A and B are shown apart, each in its own frame.
Chain A
Amino acid sequence: MGNIIDRLSERLGTFGEKLLEFIPDLLVIVIIIISGFIAASILRFLLIKAFSAVRFDDWSDQIGLTTAFKKAGITSPPSSFLGSFVYWFTVVLFFVAGFATLGFRVTDALVSIFFAFLPRFFTALIIVLFGFFVTKYLARGVLIAGVTAGIEYSKALSELVRVLLFVLVFAMALEELAIAPRVVLAAFGIFFGAIGIAAAVAFGIAGRDYAKRVIDYLLSKREGNDIDQL
């Protein structure tokens, strides 16, 4: 019994020593994390001020970013959302940096993976953002070109272009993130191939009359209109 108590007190003593050894490391982590929160707050404040100065929210309204955010369930203004994103990203960064100070093999490996993944993450983010603008622009271009060409289902055509481009953009982003690249590639090929075949078959079988009507309309417009609109 005495032996057990001795062993227990010895272990507790060792634990106490280890705890005392760990407390400075813990304090360092806490200080780094608190610094992270402070730095993140400052960054968010500066970013929102800068966005406000360049009227980022107005610009986001113009290009449809605000609407896209709302559709994705983000109700705050884009500047505020991006400010929050930068805030939490900075906090996580400091958190990881704090753990890196421990020097444990496991945390070192995790930190290495995290920092190695960052360039891929940002590249994917840029692909998605750039893809969003291009998709928006092209889909609206298709819509307006379709309307001015007299195509009744221009909106459906525009939505189709939007969906296809979004799929393309997300496939590229997932490829960049190296998330199941083979599955993404295969799914992408099957998806686009199926749509291509479906569109060809649908237009060939069901769209003949419609295509004829559109062509007849365009020809009649040319033949029957001698107005000088200028």
Chain B
Amino acid sequence: MPRSDISTEQAARAIPGPEQADIIVGIASYNNARTIGHVVRAVDAGLAKYFPSQKAIIVNSDGGSSDSTPEAVLGASVDHKAIFLSHRLTTVNRITSPYHGIPGKGSAFKAIFEMAASLNAKACCVVDADLRSITPEWMELLLSPVYKEAFDFVAPLYTRHKYDGTITNSIIYPLTRALYGRKIRQPIGGDFGFSGEMARFYLHQDVWTSDIARFGIDIWMTTEALAGNFKVCQSYLGAKIHDPKDPGADLRDMFVQVVGSLMSLTEKHNAEWKKTHDSKEVPTFGFKYSVGVVPIRVNTEGMLRSFRIGAENLKEVWAGFMDKPVVDWLVKLSHEEAASFRFPKETWVGIVYDYILAYHHKKLQAEHLLKSLIPLYHGRTASFFLETMDMGDDEAEQVVEDVAAEYENQKGYLAGNW
């Protein structure tokens, strides 16, 4: 929980010196003392190297950490003389401030948007506090497209292991691409650049008591930028390596918040996505290079078990909004051994669209509906693991692209039954 009653706007007014900033870099944190020092040093060095004459502020929006995260932010030091031949002309201010509202990443970002708006920033970016692979170049890649090329929103592009980001690969990326017609590969990457105008736009939306104030913030930022016809691009940042997720964090809640936010945005922007019929690339900045990624261990058996339990217990719930032959097929699939277990992309995409339609037609209470999708997601993900077991990352990426194309192929079904 936030631990102080000083608002971010008050904190912005309390900064000695600048009443205006060119650049704001936001870092949302909660118990990240182990890693945030490195993130702050990389940001500081990046600002010194690429934006030496701009007024820049690093804003740490903290969720009430109990491990001295704010102290780690203020204490992280960078020896500019040791890194650069010439060092920056102005100092980078750092602010650490607790945010207000419901606990979550979205509320932390709101505080950063408030700061950006009140200081009239031209370019902003947000980076995760648990990053281990961030380098000073990330500042150039996230901020320059906004500051120098007049883009409104910069999405990240990473090299990830084939088994990393399975919600992104199976639902978020392909669906966002099919709906809004832009190939943003990491819509919920978490490290974004955006203009001051975009920050003000975000700030004025009335979403801060919903799941968007939690883990739904990333998909919301990307979708609003796409649906609002803002100028969007992506920047290649290399590998994304971060601390393992808090083992206590409930992935089911994260799934519900992210996918639920995506569905509510599909509802909100139905007029926009119905007009879109294909997808196109977005401008991509950064030099793409080959980079080693940390191998991911996966628990395929656990995912298959989750799917089988779902098929055994939820078939009547699924039958409320899915065709009977599909439900019967799912039940049949649940009896397959791992060796022959395959969940085809065509069926998966049809099911996701049935879920979006069920959400739209309010066939079931939203939380129940979203949670009932989890076993199916596990089934599809297990199938993806099995299908790509012997593939390299590039081949596995092609499978993800094929899934995305299937979402585009079946989009007419969604629009026709809306």
Question: Contact between A227 and B298 (Cβ–Cβ < 8 Å)?
Answer: yes
A92 on interface, CB distance cutoff 8 Å? no
Q: Which one of A152, A154, A217, A228 has the highest number of Cβ atoms from chain B below 10 Å of its Cβ?
A: A228
Complex Cα spacing A152 to B375, Å: 12
Cβ–Cβ contact A144 & B317, under 8 A: yes
Picked from B188, B364, B374, the residue with its CB within 8 Å of the CB of A148 is: B374
Nearest Cβ on chain A to B158's Cβ, whole angstroms:
11
Instruction: Give complex CA distance A227, B255 in Å.
Output: 14
Cβ < 8 Å to A, chain B residues 139-173: 163-168
Chain A's nearest CB lies how many Å from the CB of B112? 20
Q: Separation in Å of the A66 CB from the closest CB of chain B?
A: 11
Instruction: Assess the B302–A220 pair: CB atoms within 8 A.
Output: yes
Shortest distance between the CB of A164 and any CB in chain B (Å): 18
**Which residues of the other chain, B, contact A217 by a CB distance below 8 angstroms?**
302, 305
Q: Nearest chain-A residue to B250 (Cβ)?
A: A148
A152 adjacent to B167 (CB under 8 Å) = no
The answer to whether B167 touches A229, judged by C-beta atoms less than 8 angstroms apart, is yes
Docked-complex contact B302 and A62, CB < 8 angstroms:
no
Q: Please, which residues of chain B bring their CB within 8 A of the CB of A137?
A: 365
From the candidates B305, B362, B368, name the one contacting A140 in the complex (CB within 8 A). Answer: B368
The answer to whether A221 and B302 touch (CB under 8 A), given A144-B368, A144-B372, is: yes
B213 part of interface (Cβ distance < 8 Å):
no
In the complex, the answer to whether B167 meets A227 with C-beta atoms within 8 Å is no
User: Does any Cβ of B come within 8 Å of A151's Cβ?
Assistant: yes
Contact of B299 with A230 in the complex, beta carbons under 8 Å: no
Which A residues are in CB contact (< 8 Å) with B306?
Answer: 147-148, 150
**In the complex, B81 has a CB within 8 A of chain A:** no
Chain B residues near A148: list those with CB within 8 A: 252, 306, 371, 374-375
Kindly state whether residue A2 has any CB partner on chain B within 8 Å. no
> Whole-angstrom distance between the alpha carbons of A228 and B245 in the complex?
7
B310 touches A147 (CB 8 A): yes
Q: Mark A194-230, 1 if CB is under 8 A from B, else 0.
A: 0000000000000000000000010011101111111
Q: How far is the CA of A173 from the CA of B299 in the complex (A)?
A: 49
Partner of A143, one of B254, B305, B313: B313
For residue A146, CB closer than 8 A to chain B, the reply is yes
Residues of A within 8 A of B215 (CB): 230
How far, in Å, is A55 (CB) from chain B's closest CB? 11
Give the residues in chain B near A147, CB-CB below 8 Å: 306, 309-310, 313-314, 371-372, 374-375
Residues of A within 8 A of B361 (CB): 62
For A134-171 the 0/1 string (1 means CB < 8 A from B) is: 00010011011111101110110010000000000000
CB closest chain-B residue, reference A222:
B247
B339, CB-defined interface residue at 8 Å: no
Task: Give complex CA distance A62, B309 in Å.
Answer: 24
Is B251 an interface position by the 8 A CB rule?
Answer: yes
A218, chain B: closest CB distance, angstroms: 10
Complex CA–CA separation, A151 to B312 (angstroms): 11
Q: How far is the CA of A225 from the CA of B378 in the complex (A)?
A: 13
In this complex, which of A146, A148, A158, A224 has the most chain B Cβ atoms within 10 angstroms of its Cβ?
Answer: A148
Decide: A229 and B299 in contact? CB cutoff 8 A. Answer: no
Find out whether the CB atom of B371 lies under 8 angstroms from the CB atom of A227.
no
A154-B242 Cα distance, complex, nearest whole Å: 36
Quick check: is B363 within 8 A (CB to CB) of the other chain?
A: yes
Min distance, Cβ A137 to any Cβ of chain B, angstroms: 7
Complex contacts, A227 vs chain B, CB 8 Å: 163-164, 166, 296-299
Min CB–CB distance B6 → chain A (angstroms):
31
CB <8 Å contact, A229 and B251: yes
Task: Identify which of residues 34-87 in chain A touch chain B, using a CB-to-CB cut-off of 8 Å.
Answer: 62
**In the complex, which residues of chain A have a beta carbon less than 8 angstroms from the beta carbon of B129?**
none
By the criterion CB–CB under 8 Å, are B168 and A230 in contact?
A: yes
Task: List the A side residues contacting B167 at CB < 8 Å.
Answer: 229-230
Pairwise interchain contact A152-B312, C-beta atoms closer than 8 A:
yes
* B371, A144: Cβ atoms closer than 8 Å: yes
Identify which of A158, A224, A229 contacts B165 (C-beta below 8 A): A229
Give Cα distance in the complex from A222 to B251, angstroms.
Answer: 10
Bound complex: CA of A171 vs CA of B317, how far in Å? 28
- A sample of 27 cross-chain residue pairs with beta-carbon separation below 8 angstroms, ordered by A number, consists of A144-B368, A144-B372, A147-B306, A147-B314, A147-B372, A148-B375, A150-B309, A152-B309, A152-B313, A154-B309, A155-B313, A217-B302, A220-B299, A221-B302, A222-B247, A226-B296, A226-B297, A227-B163, A227-B164, A228-B165, A228-B244, A229-B165, A229-B166, A229-B167, A229-B381, A230-B165, A230-B188
Known: A217-B302, A227-B163. 17 other contacts (CB 8 A): A62-B361, A62-B363, A62-B364, A137-B365, A140-B317, A140-B368, A144-B314, A144-B368, A150-B305, A151-B309, A154-B313, A224-B302, A225-B298, A228-B296, A229-B166, A229-B167, A230-B167
